[in-house]
């Protein structure tokens, strides 16, 4: 179209356009918008401002509204969504988005079922009472939560860390499978499910990307994740994303008594639900379903990485609750890992955050289950001896889900004559310090402590990792480089980086914007929750669950710190209190004490204490409970629930559960045949209640 005529037309009010003019202008707009899309997305060089671009789209929409019959097949309004966003806002999930514990074989499934039967009293006491489980494929995509208010899609979020995700509402609106409005649903309905890409869509999409010189993805899952997390929803709109619904978040009213029924409701409301599902009555049925699906796996058209089993009764699900981040009522049975053969070029020794020397196989790159693998773990010294792995060998490697690929075995008849047995070093390859292996330990460790760069760098890397301080934009490479240059020698230095802003900006690969983003990300984390803080310290054996436990028991940073220093003395009350926490034994206590005994660690802690605001632990969803913050002890046999269920319930309501009665006990719950604890409680004046009173107390909470 002639640009002059085009401009003249564009000045005309939409109301006065003739049909012929409208048709001509829609054609011109389609071409023009497509041209700007290309410049913007693919060449990263937009020729017009966002405002001008939006004006084009608005005009297109206005003409289409007046002449709906003229809407073109390639209309920009069909392909694209809202305007580019600045970044993603954070969304706090009303109910956490949990992950799943894994099972790898039939024995794991048996243990899963047996554990549930032990937990729920009516199942424990009556082996004939059936436990029905729904089985469904585990879709290999990424999970999202869709929030509907009065039937309208108002928010869509990624899982994020399970507590807080990213607001990708505009992007999810552009996923065809996601209903934008639904009828007959509760006023508040949160539907959770998996966004994925089919294999054929993925192949075609990657071909297009390759042809245009754009990023090619390793597998459909990565492509789906990359597509959903686009800052510009118009890009998402052009990617072939799909959705399966399988779970819920907040609901203003219950919608079903069983999971199976819930999936039926979802389907009635118009959500896509995976048709391959079954109700199983026992482990035999579960295994049979897994075999059936494993057989169909190659022809499904999309990737699945296992089968998810969920307790069907929702009231049971609620009672079973969750441990750490996974529900007790569900489990994922993973398919056996995929394997491939390749050459092992070299064995490299990596030094971990705790000084452990880990052998890593450097491989000739090979594709395993859709992913290119060039490194695999060899675990430890003994493993190399046991498998007799040598440099130059041909080996079988396997990959299961997101875990690090492993070397399974050596293909003996392909061994070159020159291959020599591997000699494990007795000195740290990073700092040259002696590396020792203690009696009964599988691991050899560097003794260099904080003079060893690998340990310092690893500690900082752990410190900033997602479940710890979660500082975006500070990858492993950056940490190592900053350490090398003396910018960050301890975690506390992170919070002094702002003083080096100029120096940072002049570093290779760092622009003003990326430095500003990094400093902003660090500043946000200057206030941190106690449990994350404890986890971030990287104390041996103190993972996320233990960190959370400690935070819950000690409440504030000062409390915790003082108690841990005092607990170094095994005769102290502090030590007794620490080891009395259910889940913390003498071995963990010893590692914590060792951490605090090291003067350097205490210096770092003091330094951090001054720089940070460490916020007290806030028990989730337990603020109003009558037992929040209380220490509860159970004794005797409980009639209506198992000890595990009672303990889980108490913890969910914000209480701490201790194993024995002391002056710190707030409440003793006495079941049948209680022994010495009741007497001790009476002596100390601790409040004692019966099981029935306990039930009233927690059901009102
Ligand atoms: S249920 C509390 N069902 O697996 C229950 N998850 O490892 C939470 N997934 O984050 C999830 N297919 O991304 C469930 N049919 C299915 C699933 C499924 C795939 C993913 C989901 C979740 C992860 C957990």
DSSP 185: -
Residue nearest ligand 1's atom 6 by CA: 138
Tokens (6 digits) for 176: 């065809």
CA of 611 relative to ligand 1 center, distance in Å: 39
Could you tell me the strand order of the sheet in which 656-658 lies? Answer: 656-658, 631-635, 667-670, 687-690
**Structure pTM?**
0.54
Residue 467 alpha carbon to ligand 1 centre in Å? 19
Tokens linked to 164: 């807080």
What is the per-residue pLDDT for 438? 76
Rounded CA-CA distance 471/482 in Å is 15
What does the alpha-carbon distance between residue 568 and residue 558 come to, in Å, rounded to a whole number? 16
Which residue lies with its CA nearest to atom 13 of ligand 1? 143
- pLDDT above 80 for 570: yes
Of 191-205, 222-236, 548-562, which gets the smallest average pLDDT?
222-236
Q: How far is the CA of 140 from the centre of ligand 1 (A)?
A: 9
Is the distance from the beta carbon of residue 303 to the nearest atom of ligand 1 less than 6 Å?
no
DSSP 167: B
The yes-or-no verdict on residue 243 having pLDDT over 90 is: yes
- From the list 79, 138, 656, 664, the catalytic residue is 138
Quote the tokens at residue 30.
Answer: 């389609």
pLDDT, average across residues 495-513? 88
**Which of 123-132, 142-151, 447-456, 612-621 is the least confident region?**
447-456
Which segments of 438-475 does DSSP mark as H helices, in order? 453-464
Report the C-alpha gap between 646 and 667 in whole angstroms.
13
Residue 164 phi, psi dihedral angles, 5° rounding: -130, 130
Assign 5 a pLDDT band (cuts: 50, 70, 90).
very low
pLDDT band at 623 (very low <50, low <70, confident <90, very high): low
Q: What is the pLDDT of residue 602?
A: 86
Q: Structure tokens of 255? A: 């919608």
Percent of the chain whose predicted confidence (pLDDT) is above 70: 92
Residue 332 Cβ inside 6 Å of ligand 1? The answer reads yes
- Identify whether the C-beta of residue 101 lies closer than 8 Å to the C-beta of residue 182: no
The secondary structure of residue 423, as a DSSP letter, is P
Terminus-to-terminus CA distance in the chain, angstroms?
70
When pLDDT is cut at 50, 70 and 90, the band that residue 81 belongs to is very low
Strands 527-529 and 613-615, sheet pairing? parallel
Q: Whose CA is nearest to atom 24 of ligand 1?
A: 99
| Tens digits of residue pLDDT in 19-32 | 888 998 999 898 88
Q: Is the CB of 304 under 6 A from ligand 1?
A: no
Ligand 1 probe mutation, 243, 246, 290, most atoms within 8 A of CB: 246
Binned at pLDDT 50, 70 and 90, residue 642 comes out as confident
> Bigger pLDDT: 374 or 421?
421
pLDDT in tens, 171-201: 999 999 999 999 999 999 999 999 999 988 9
Q: Which of 141, 195, 308, 327 to mutate to test the pocket of ligand 1 (most atoms within 8 A of CB)?
A: 308
Res 248: pLDDT: 96
Task: Name which residue sits closest to atom 9 of ligand 1, judged by CA.
Answer: 138
Residue 266: CB within 6 Å of ligand 1? no
Contact 158 CB / ligand 1 (< 6 Å): no
Would the CB of 139 count as within 6 Å of ligand 1?
A: yes
- Tell me if 100 CB under 6 Å of ligand 1: yes
Per-residue CA distances from 533 to 30, 152, 605, 623 (Å): 53, 39, 10, 21
Which comes out higher in pLDDT, residue 577 or 447?
577
- Is 210:266 a contact under the CB 8 Å cutoff? no
pLDDT tens profile 450-462: 568 788 888 888 8
Q: Which residues have CB under 8 Å from 614's CB, separation 6+? A: 528, 529, 530, 533, 556, 557
Residue 588 Cβ inside 6 Å of ligand 1? The answer reads no
Query: What average pLDDT does range 298-309 have in this prediction?
Result: 89
Give the number of the atom of ligand 1 that is nearest the alpha carbon of residue 274.
Answer: 15
In angstroms, rounded to a whole number, what is the distance separating the alpha carbons of residues 532 and 618? 12
pLDDT (0 to 100) of residue 628: 85
The ligand 1 atom nearest the CA atom of 142:
13
Top-confidence range, 47-61, 234-248, 641-655: 234-248
Q: Which atom of ligand 1 is nearest to the CA of 329?
A: 2
Which of 190-199, 401-410, 584-593 is most confident?
190-199
Rounded to 5°, the CA angle 35-37-40 comes to 110
Structure tokens at 659: 């194993």
Cβ atoms of residues 194 and 224 within 8 Å: no
Spatial distance between the Cα atoms of 87 and 472, rounded to a whole number of angstroms? 13
Q: Is the CB of 330 under 6 A from ligand 1?
A: yes
CA of 136 to the centre of ligand 1 (A): 10
* Helix residue ranges, H only, 378-429: 381-387
Asked if 424 and 381 count as a contact pair (C-beta separation under 8 A), the reply is yes
- Strands, E, within 185-226: which ranges? 188-196
The answer to which of 14-18, 74-78, 341-345 has the lowest mean pLDDT is 74-78
Kindly write down the DSSP assignment for every residue of 536-554, as one continuous string.
Answer: HT--TT--HHHHHHHHHHH
Compute the distance from residue 580 Cα to the ligand 1 centre, in Å: 35
H or E element in which residue 360 lies: strand 357-368
Judge whether residue 561 has pLDDT over 90: yes
For residue 485, pLDDT beyond 90: no
Which residues does residue 30 pair with via DSSP β-bridges, in sequence order?
Answer: none
Rounded mean pLDDT, 611-624: 77
How many angstroms separate the alpha carbon of residue 100 from the centre of ligand 1? 7
Angle, vertex CA 214, rays to CA 209 and CA 217, nearest 5? 65
Residue 331, pLDDT > 50, answer yes
Cα(648) to centroid(ligand 1), Å: 22
Determine contact, residues 309/134, Cβ cutoff 8 Å: yes
C-beta 98 within 6 A of ligand 1: yes
User: Which residue has its alpha carbon closest to ligand 1 atom 21?
Assistant: 143
Q: In 3-state terms, what secondary structure has residue 248?
A: strand
Tell me the C-alpha distance between 553 and 559, whole Å. 10
656 catalytic? Reply is: no
* Model confidence band, residue 332 (pLDDT cutoffs 50, 70, 90): very high
Give the E-state strand segments of 444-525 in sequence order: 444-446
CA distances from 417 to 403, 414, 581 (A): 33, 9, 57
**Worst-scoring range by mean pLDDT, 256-265, 328-337, 621-630, 666-675?**
621-630
Which among 102, 192, 194 is the best mutation to test ligand 1's pocket, defined by most ligand atoms within 8 Å of the CB?
194
Ligand 1 centroid to residue 401 C-alpha, Å:
13
Q: Ligand 1 within 6 A of 102 CB?
A: no
Q: Which residues of 261-285 are buried (b: 16+ CB within 10 A; e: fewer)?
A: ebbebbeebebbbbeebbebeebee
Conformational region of residue 525, where left means phi above 0, alpha means psi within -120 to 50, and beta covers everything else:
alpha
Ligand 1 nearest-atom number relative to CA 143: 13
Q: Is 592 in the pocket of ligand 1 (CB under 6 A)?
A: no
CA of 99 to the centre of ligand 1 (A): 6
Neighbour count for residue 87 (Cβ, 10 Å): 9
- Residue 246 beta carbon below 6 angstroms from any ligand 1 atom: yes
- Stated as kind and residue range, the H or E segment containing 284 is helix 283-296
> What residue's CA is closest to ligand 1, atom 11?
99
| Ordered domains of the chain (ranges, CATH) | 14-79+337-436 (2.40.50.140), 90-334 (3.30.470.30), 529-615 (1.10.150.20), 631-699 (3.40.50.10190)
Tokens (6 digits) for 674: 């209680």
Distance (Å) from CA 193 to ligand 1 centroid: 7
**pLDDT average, residue stretch 360-372:** 82
674, 635 in Cβ contact below 8 A?
Answer: yes
By most ligand atoms within 8 Å of CB, the mutation choice from 141, 143, 145, 272 for ligand 1 is 143
Q: Which residue has the higher pLDDT, 85 or 443?
A: 443
Computed over every residue of the chain, the mean pLDDT equals 87
Q: Atom 5 of ligand 1 has which residue's CA nearest to it?
A: 98
Q: How far is the CA of 192 from the centre of ligand 1 (A)?
A: 9
Determine whether the shortest distance from the Cβ of 245 to ligand 1 is under 6 A.
no
Q: From residue 679, how far is each of 345, 659, 667 by CA, in Å?
A: 68, 15, 13
Q: Is 308 in the pocket of ligand 1 (CB under 6 A)?
A: yes
């Amino acid at each position: 179209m002639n640009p002059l005529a085009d401009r003249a037309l564009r000045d005309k009010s939409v109301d006065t356009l003739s049909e012929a003019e409208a048709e001509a202008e829609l054609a011109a707009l389609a071409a023009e918008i497509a041209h700007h899309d290309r410049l913007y997305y693919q060449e990263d060089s937009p020729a017009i401002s966002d405002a001008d671009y939006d004006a084009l789209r608005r005009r297109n929409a206005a003409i289409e509204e007046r002449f709906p019959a003229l809407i073109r097949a390639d209309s920009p309004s069909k392909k694209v969504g809202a305007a580019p966003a600045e970044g993603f806002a954070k969304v706090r999930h009303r109910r956490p988005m949990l992950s799943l514990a894994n099972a790898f074989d039939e024995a794991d499934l048996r243990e899963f079922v047996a554990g549930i039967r032990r937990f729920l009293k009516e199942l424990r006491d009556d082996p004939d009472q059936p436990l029905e489980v729904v089985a469904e494929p585990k879709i290999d995509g990424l999970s999202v939560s869709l929030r509907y208010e009065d039937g309208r899609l108002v928010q869509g979020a990624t899982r994020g860390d399970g507590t807080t995700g990213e607001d990708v509402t505009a992007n999810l609106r552009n996923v065809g499978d996601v209903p934008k409005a639904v009828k007959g649903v509760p006023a508040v309905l949160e539907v959770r499910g998996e966004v994925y890409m089919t294999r054929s869509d993925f192949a075609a999409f990657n071909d297009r990307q390759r042809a245009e010189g754009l990023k090619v993805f390793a597998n459909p899952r990565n492509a789906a994740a990359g597509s959903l997390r686009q800052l510009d929803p118009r890009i998402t709109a052009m990617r072939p994303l799909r959705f399966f619904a399988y779970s819920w978040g907040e609901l203003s009213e219950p919608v079903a008594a069983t999971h199976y029924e819930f999936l039926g409701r979802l389907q009635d409301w118009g959500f896509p639900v995976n048709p391959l599902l079954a109700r199983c009555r026992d482990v035999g049925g579960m295994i049979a379903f897994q075999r059936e699906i494993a057989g169909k796996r190659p022809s499904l058209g999309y990737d699945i990485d296992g089968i998810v089993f969920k307790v069907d009764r929702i009231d049971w699900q609620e009672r079973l609750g969750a441990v750490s981040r996974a529900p007790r009522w569900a489990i994922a049975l993973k398919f056996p890992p995929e394997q491939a053969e390749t050459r092992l070029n070299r064995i490299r020794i990596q030094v971990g955050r705790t000084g452990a020397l880990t052998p890593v196989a450097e491989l000739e790159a090979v594709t395993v289950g859709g992913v290119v693998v060039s490194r695999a773990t060899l675990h430890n010294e003994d493993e190399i001896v046991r498998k007799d792995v040598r440099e130059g060998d041909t080996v079988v490697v396997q990959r299961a889900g997101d875990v690090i690929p492993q070397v399974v075995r050596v293909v003996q008849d392909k061994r070159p004559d020159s291959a020599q047995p591997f000699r494990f070093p007795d000195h740290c390859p990073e700092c040259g310090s002696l590396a020792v292996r203690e009696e009964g330990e599988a691991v050899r460790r560097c003794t260099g402590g904080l003079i060893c760069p690998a340990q310092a760098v690893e500690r900082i890397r752990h410190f900033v990792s997602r479940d710890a301080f979660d500082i975006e934009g500070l990858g492993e490479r950056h940490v190592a480089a900053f350490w090398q240059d003396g910018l960050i020698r301890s975690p506390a230095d992170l919070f002094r980086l702002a003083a080096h802003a100029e120096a940072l900006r002049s570093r290779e690969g760092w622009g003003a914007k990326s430095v500003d983003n990094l400093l902003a990300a660090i500043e946000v984390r200057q206030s941190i929750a106690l449990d994350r803080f404890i986890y971030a310290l990287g104390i041996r054996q103190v993972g996320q669950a233990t960190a959370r436990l400690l935070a819950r028991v000690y409440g504030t940073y000062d409390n915790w710190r003082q108690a841990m220093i005092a607990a170094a003395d095994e005769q102290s009350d502090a030590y007794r209190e620490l080891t009395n926490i259910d889940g913390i034994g003498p071995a963990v206590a010893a590692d914590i004490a060792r951490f605090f005994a090291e003067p350097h660690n205490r210096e770092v802690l003091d330094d951090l204490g001054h720089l940070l605001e460490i916020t007290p632990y806030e028990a989730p969803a337990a603020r109003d409970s009558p037992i929040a913050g209380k220490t509860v002890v159970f004794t005797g046999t409980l009639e209506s629930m198992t000890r595990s269920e009672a303990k889980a319930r108490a913890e969910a309501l914000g209480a701490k559960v201790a194993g024995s009665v002391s002056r710190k006990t707030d409440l003793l719950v006495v079941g049948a045949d209680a022994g010495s604890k009741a007497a001790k409680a009476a002596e100390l004046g601790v409040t004692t209640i019966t099981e029935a009173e306990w039930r009233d107390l927690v059901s009102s909470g």
